[in-house]
Structure 1
Amino acid sequence: MATYFSGSQTQDSDEVKEMYCEECDRHGDGYATAVAFCVDCEDYICVTCQRYHKRQFKTHKIQDSNSMPQDFYFEKCSTHPGQLVKFYCSECKTEACQECKDNGHVNCRDIAHLPTLASDIQKSDELINFSKNMDQLSKDIQDTEKLLDAKSEVIKKQEENVTESCTEHSNKLITTYKQHHQDLIDDFDNKMEETIARLEKERLELIQKLSVKETKFEENIRQAETDMKEEVVETNTNFKKLKFEHLNLVGNLKALTVDLEQAHKVGKNCELFIKLKLVKQMCKQIQVTTDQIQHSNIQRYKLKKSDIQPTVKSLENQTSFFSFDEVHVSAVERRLTFDLNINHEFKRIISLLVLSEHTLLALNYDRCTLVIFILEKSNAKCIKETKFKNLPCGITKVSDHKVAVTFPYERMIRLITFSEEMEVLNTTEIPGHGCCFGIAYSNNHLVVSHNESFTENINILSMSGEIVKSFDTDDNGQTLFNNPWYLTVSPDNSMIYVSDCDRHTVTCLTFDGTVKAIYKDDQLKCPLQLAVDEYGSVYVCGRDSNNVHQLSHDLTKVKILLDKNHGMYTPASIAYCQNTKRLLVGMNQSSKIKIFNVSLE
């Protein structure tokens, strides 16, 4: 095998270049053909540079064009692109330019001129031995290539066998795995079919069992419903009988009246006499039943609803499905219709009192007076004004011609007696025991609210002014009031109702000071005077909320009875007339008292 460096491998097209002057190239003097070589400087030089070089370096050895190294190497240095590669360092085994030699190979002892070193390379033992080695390496490469080809065939066959076997085994495993899953699904399907069949049977049995229970439950609850309806009907049987009896009496009266008129016309005096007696007797009976109807109260009730969530078990064990709670008549909503306005010249009426069906008393804040109004059916007029030295606040009826008035800044209560013509006959003063504001009369006692620093309480006084009872805290020792201005008592004289304009509350308490209920609502602001009707309904003015609230006897909110739509602007005083069923409301910033007719819904 021929070596890679034999003469036969030199191509005819290889370009043979002439060497140029390194001095001219180094100094930028252009291209010049080299004609000599300085052995000491190891530079190729031109004719011109040779002449100057000999003058400057007389001891340097100069070779002419025939004897200078002819193997020119024109590669540039990779580190210094402007320099030719001229040297080879045998220690570093690397080529170098002049700068590389001067700077990087200072300590190298075996660095020589590359063309000089390469001049005998063709006949050198190194090249000959290397050529032989390359021939052997070439042979080894060819043998290795054949061996690689043979081994590649083996590897290829092996890869094909393994790949084919792997694919076959993978497919087998996947098939087996899927089959296991299918077996599980089939087993589950079988169990599901069995379970469905069992559940369908159990469902049918359950439906039959529940159907029997449902029938029984429906029978029980329908019977309870029937019993409840009968009980409801029975509740008002007496009233219905009374109404039916009244209708019969009215019918009989009409028939007798016709007979009476007929006997009168034809002049049958005996018959007329008998008919007259019968009609008079019938009228008495009608009057009795009419009075009974007018004074009888309808029993009001509502179905009682359970807050407990019913279950199947509790419903099956239930023995009583329905009951009803009696609704206290005070909790029945009132219906108001406007009657008339009392127009007057007194602003800031702070308390009202219906003394009789035709007499209304009002306390005026600005003028410190007691104003007396006479109420007619369709109008009202002021007949008298009594002047006081100091501000009055609360007023209550003691008897038909006697009232009690509080004077907080005098710390006094005055008992005022009037004549039939509403002239003041007598005034008696009793101690108020502090700044007394609200006042109510009950069972020959006065109930009075007090309001001054650190003393907000309720006193029950004898008619001579002695304190019988006093309370200012509840059962837990907590303060009851902040600013109790007004109070009233229930129709049966068992409860006291107190308004607190600072706490925005109404408190219900017994005559021994036990708190029964406290009413507080976001729609009630600054409650002032209160009134109660014959059924126990409580009416309270909300001065700052511009409304009147209706509360039941236990202070449950029934409704907002009056608001701005009814002309309520800072209502401060209120009174109720039982005889005429009228509610009277006075405004804090208006010279007007509004009167409304009250009826049950």
Structure 2
Amino acid sequence: MIKKFSHFIEYQMTSDIERLQRSVDVSATQTAAQMQRQGDKLIAEFTTAVRTELEKRTSELEKCRQSVNNEIVELFSDVNRLIEESKECMKLGENLLRSASLSDMKRLVSKFSKIQKITTDYLATPRPEFPDLAITLVEPENTVSRTFSAEIGRISRPDIKSIKITHKIYLQTSIFEPDVEINRKSDRLKHEQTINAKLQSDTECPDLYSILVLEGQNSNTIVVTDWVNKCVKSFSSQHKTVQSHVTTGRPCCLAKTRDHQVLVTLPRERKLLYLNVQDDIHLIKTVTTKKGYHSITVLPDDNMAVTAGLSGCVDILNQRCYVIRSIPNKVIPNPGSLTVKGDSLIVVSDTTNILTCVSSSGQVMWVLCDSARFHRLYGVACDTEQSVYVCDNDRDAIVQLSRDGDVIRDVITQKDGLKQPVSLCFAQDKLYVTQQNGEIKIFGWSQT
């Protein structure tokens, strides 16, 4: 009886063990399949997360590269200014020799002495050794985390400020102006002069779409387009000479080439005019373009950036006016006025009041949309420190922005005599602004 019962108990125990083991094996197989499914899901999520992280870091790297390159250029701004001042002094000397005016020579000889001392001191100072700069990736620390994340690392930028230029270049402003230190972020702009652009030949009040300043030794030449009267006008800053050149269509915007020719767009006729503006305005040549271009600016490589209407794009043209690439409307919606800022572009989006900083290849550096401040943006310009100025027509204001797109202040307002600004440009520490009433306002920096 004991033997019989012991066999039965052994059979039951073996059966229970086998059943339990089978359930473990089946559940393990099921769990392995579930793990595979979860693993595949995590791999898909991980791939998406890594791709997103890569795109984020790549964009950050490009912005860092542009910013560091701009800082390098700024590091040598005094040296570059010395070169420009020397060139201006050379032009002044050539003009003096041609004019053979002894009184002018005596009056201006101090400027040559000043630039001579500066250049001599510069060359006598040993040239510093500059270390190579590198943008690097700082890898993340390995940490135990209960949540899933993809972390590639962070971009580490070189310290440009650690580089010291030992040359002492005493160029506070210009050899052609008094040595006055200007802080453009705090000093105010004071109204200095108003020029009425209406001529006797005009049939209607001037509609000044664009303004450009050609810098001279004794006085500047102001060039404007008059859309409604179909002409290009030039004024000396002292308002002693006035010239007018009638165009075949309505002129829109202006730009200046390196050899000081003036470019004028005729969007309705799809033409681009090349003018020589000196004692008189002479047409050099006319180029027919495939599109009707409105705004225009000249890039550092002598190519041109143009806008092709509200629903168009920003085209980059070579010197023969052929399109070499385009920045589509989806990147910069409704492109209007534009200007050069270093090696990038600042573009105003018409109707949407958006400012976009973009490289000539189409890489967006920053976008500013300040609906509370911006009401109706028109013209835009940059100064030598790459600060940005934009006309807000409805608020009767010029808004000043930093080079990185941060709003600094309303630098000129209605209290300064400004009313409905349309276009503006920067020259020799002055802002030249056209107004809707046909007037040109000139503002100079005044220390607070």
2:292 to 416, 432, 435: 435
Alpha carbons of structure 1 residues 291 and 349: separation in structure 2 relative to 1, 3 Å: farther
Of 201, 206, 210, the match for 1:347? 206
> Corresponding residue for 1:586?
434
1:459 aligns with 2:320: no
Give distance in 1, aligned partners of 2:194 and 2:445. Answer: 15
Match of 1:495 in 2: 344
Question: Shift in Å at residue 425 of structure 1?
Answer: 4.7
Q: Does 1:551 align with 2:401?
A: yes
Q: Which residue of 2 aligns with 1:422?
A: 280
TM-score, normalised to structure 1's length?
0.42
In structure 2, relative to structure 1, the CA distance for the partners of 1:556 and 1:421 (3 Å cut) is: same
Q: Secondary structure at the match of 2:312?
A: strand
Q: Which residue, 415, 420, 427 being the options, matches 1:570?
A: 420
Residues in 2 aligned to 1:286 and 1:464: alpha-carbon distance in whole angstroms = 39
Equivalent of 2:332 in 480, 487, 498: 480
Secondary structure at 1:565 match in 2 = helix
Q: Which runs of 5+ in 2 are unaligned?
A: 1-77, 79-109, 123-158, 162-181, 199-204
- Kindly provide the CA deviation profile for residues 393-447 of structure 1, in whole angstroms up to 9, marking residues without a partner as x: 11100135411111111122222234x423305123141x323111001122110
Question: Whole-Å Cα distance in 2 between the matches of residues 538 and 545 of structure 1?
Answer: 17
* Structure 1 gap ranges (5+): 1-238, 240-279, 293-323
* Aligned residues of 2:251 and 2:265 also touching (Cα < 8 A): yes
Deviation at 1:513, TM superposition (A): 0.5
Whether contact under 8 Å (1:356, 1:400) holds in the other structure is: no
User: Cα gap change, 1:347/1:530 in structure 2, threshold over 3 Å: closer, same or farther?
Assistant: same
Q: Structure 1 residues 449 and 334 mapped into 2: Cα distance closer, same or farther (>3 Å)?
A: farther
Letter in 2 for 1:594: K
CA separation of 1:334 and 1:513: change in aligned 2, threshold 3 A? farther
Q: CA deviation at 1:600?
A: 7.3
* Preserved CA contact (<8 Å) 1:505 1:520: yes
Task: Report what 1:200 is aligned to.
Answer: none
Q: How many residues align?
A: 271
- In structure 1, distance between residues paired with 2:196 and 2:406: 33
Superimposed CA distance per residue, residues 168-188 of structure 1 (whole angstroms, 9 cap, x where no aligned partner):
xxxxxxxxxxxxxxxxxxxxx
The alpha-carbon deviation at position 335 of structure 1 amounts to 2.3
Amino acid paired to 2:398? V
Q: 1 CA distance for matches of 2:256 and 2:192? A: 24
Q: State the distance in 2 between where 1:286 and 1:361 align.
A: 33
RMSD: 3.0
User: Quick one: distance in 2 between partners of 1:290 and 1:339?
Assistant: 36
**1:519 and 2:368 aligned:** yes
> Is the Cα–Cα contact under 8 Å of residues 524 and 547 in structure 1 kept in the other structure?
no
Q: CA deviation at 1:530?
A: 1.1
Amino acid across the alignment from 1:457: C
1:366 to 225, 228, 233: 228
SS at match of 1:559: strand
Per-residue CA deviations over 1:343-382 (Å, capped at 9, x if unaligned) read 2325321100012241110011210110110113xxx245
Residue 421 of structure 2 is aligned to residue 536 of structure 1:
no
Pick closer, same or farther for the CA change 1:559–1:290 going to 2, 3 Å: farther
Aligned counterpart for 2:244 among listed residues 385, 401, 425 = 385
Q: Post-superposition shift, 1:330?
A: 9.6
For residue 596 of structure 1, report the CA deviation from its aligned partner: 0.8
CA distance in 2, matches of 1:284, 1:526: 45
Checking the alignment, whether the CA contact within 8 Å between 1:417 and 1:427 is kept in structure 2 is no
In structure 2, C-alpha distance between the alignment counterparts of 1:352 and 1:500, rounded to whole Å: 19
What are the Cα deviations for residues 121-145 of structure 1, in whole angstroms up to 9, with x where unaligned? xxxxxxxxxxxxxxxxxxxxxxxxx
Change in 2 beyond 3 A, CA 1:341/1:511? same
Map 1:247-266 → 2, pairs under 5 A? none
For residue 294 of structure 2, give the secondary structure of its aligned residue in structure 1.
strand
TM-superposition CA deviations, 1:483-529 (whole Å, max 9, x none): x2211101x3x110111121111110011101111122222222111
Give the direction of change, closer, same or farther, for the CA distance of 1:330–1:554 in structure 2 (3 Å limit).
farther
Local SS of the residue matching 2:206: coil
* Structure with higher RCO (Cα < 8 A, 6+ apart): 2
Q: 1:469 aligns with which of 304, 325, 340?
A: 325
Aligned to 1:79: none
- Shift in alpha-carbon separation, 1:344–1:285, aligned structure 2, 3 A: closer
